Amino acid sequence: MAEPAAAELFRATDLPKIAWGKGSYVYDTDGKQYIDGSGGPAVFCIGHGNKEVNAAIAAQLDKVAHGYRYSFTSDPLEELQEIMARKAGGGLSESVIVCGGSEAVESCLKIALQYQSAIGQETRRRFIARQRSWHGNTLGALSISGFEERRAPFEGALIEASHLSPVNVYRPPQGVAPDQVAEACAEKLEQEILRLGPETVCAFVFEPVVGAAGGAVPAPPGYAKRVREICDRHGVLMIADEVMCGSGRTGWWRALEEDGVEPDIMAIAKGLGGGYLPLGAALYQRRLAGPMMERHGGLLTGHTFVGHTAACAGGVAVQRIVEREGLVERVRAESPSFFARLTDALGQHPHVGDIRGRGFFVGVELVADRETTEPFDAALTVFARIRDRAFENGLICYPAGGNVDGKRGDQLILAPPYNASSDELDEIVEKLARSVKEVCAALPA
């Protein structure tokens, strides 16, 4: 059986046409209702059709849609920057506001390179990242991504980067015990820095909880702190890609806050603006700003729609709701119950190998044999089958394949709105469990 290309799994002509959405639900033009169990791709953090957010955007559009960032600042821009600095805490007070996650990661890479140049470290050009990571679709972000299927058409044009093994307790590196994953993987980072020569390494980039490429895989306790120590020892910047796992998704506004670690530079998007308008940001430490200002006169990254005024107004409204309603704290409080419901429904299923994640960012990995963790044959595209069956059953979940070795591996992500009700969480679990059981029962022996 031939393996289908990724594009064949998501043909636009096969998709229903969306009509409207409200709260945790969306509806197509035929009137079918879907519960948005993954917030699209972990974006819609307060659900759809929020009147307060829509009104804030409309009010800004009535004034002016966008004041070009290099001609004007604006109240929404300054308010959003203040919110991000306050929520991020520590030294992460500086930011550039962009239109999405890929652009945020690209900005992080450029900030790291510019800073190293500004302090006289022009030889530090190399990035280190990890396999089974996804950082975005721009060429720079794609270059540091360890997602074979999405990289393949562009190989030969990507910048050279190092890719370490995934940090996954369920699938540890060969010869490494699960309780040694954090230390062993951190040690591999230091070995790669020394192999390349510290004077050549600009930054290490990683997702604190791996999203699309791994299926909500959290690094084990202690890993992030060891990475912080290693980066500091060798003058390497730490870049946290929190595009998918940040802005409250894990029950902390910064995912790395739970690990007790502060990065030098951080990308956020998705939950920042809740999907109401395209929005993302690169945050960076205050101490990085001075040398870049002195050497180059300011930050040398930005595009036409940097700090887009209406998008910032939408982001401010979303973040005010998240803060006023205590939604990040709610995610943290409700997460154990959500995991327990999933475990009750699927934890003993013979083809469910792992249920993992943090907060309202949950991955379910499907396997052919849960005793050996052997994945299904890639040609079966189990993840796509479950995605399609869930859709038929009125549930949106986020599927991906290849999380084991770039070809094999089937996993699904749930990322419900932070304000999803208890009944809605029950509905998500019930529909996913039913869909998994229906698909697995129909697989060839």
Provide the pLDDT for residue 149. 87
Q: Determine the average pLDDT of the residues in 232-248.
A: 98
Q: Taking CA 340 as the corner, what is the angle to CA 338 and CA 341, rounded to the nearest 5 degrees?
A: 65
Provide the pLDDT for residue 227. 98
Say what angle helices 309-324 and 75-88 make with each other, to 10 degrees: 40
Q: Determine the average pLDDT of the residues in 253-270.
A: 98
Q: How confident is the model at residue 1 (pLDDT cuts 50, 70, 90)?
A: very low
Q: CA dist 227 to 138, 208, 275, 330, 414, Å?
A: 26, 11, 32, 29, 28
Question: Does position 67 have pLDDT exceeding 60, yes or no?
Answer: yes
Q: Determine the average pLDDT of the residues in 94-123.
A: 98
Q: Model pTM?
A: 0.95
pLDDT tens column, 393-408: 999 999 989 999 989 9
Provide the pLDDT for residue 14. 82
Question: Does position 100 have pLDDT exceeding 70, yes or no?
Answer: yes
H helices present in 64-155, as ranges: 75-88, 101-118, 139-143, 148-151
Q: Determine the average pLDDT of the residues in 53-59.
A: 98
Domains of the chain in start order, with CATH, are: 11-42+327-442 (3.90.1150.10), 53-324 (3.40.640.10)
Question: Does position 76 have pLDDT exceeding 50, yes or no?
Answer: yes
Q: Which residue has the higher pLDDT, 1 or 295?
A: 295
Mean per-residue pLDDT over the chain, rounded: 96
Query: Which residue, among 433, 438, 445, 442, has the nearest Cα to 368 in the 3D structure?
Result: 445
- Six-digit token pair at 406? 């770039």
pLDDT tens column, 365-421: 999 999 999 999 999 999 999 999 999 999 999 998 999 998 999 999 999 999 999
Provide the pLDDT for residue 445. 76
Q: Determine the average pLDDT of the residues in 36-65.
A: 98
For the chain, percent of residues with pLDDT exceeding 70: 97
Q: Which residues contact 24 (CB under 8 A, 6 or more apart)?
A: 35, 36, 47, 48, 416, 417, 420, 421, 424
Provide the pLDDT for residue 13. 60
Provide the pLDDT for residue 130. 98
Question: Does position 2 have pLDDT exceeding 60, yes or no?
Answer: no
Provide the pLDDT for residue 11. 56
Provide the pLDDT for residue 12. 53
Provide the pLDDT for residue 36. 98
pLDDT tens column, 131-188: 999 999 999 999 999 998 899 999 999 999 999 999 999 999 999 999 999 999 999 9
Q: Determine the average pLDDT of the residues in 71-75.
A: 96
Question: Does position 8 have pLDDT exceeding 70, yes or no?
Answer: no
Query: Which residue, among 88, 77, 98, has the nearest Cα to 282 in the 3D structure?
Result: 98
Question: Does position 425 have pLDDT exceeding 80, yes or no?
Answer: yes
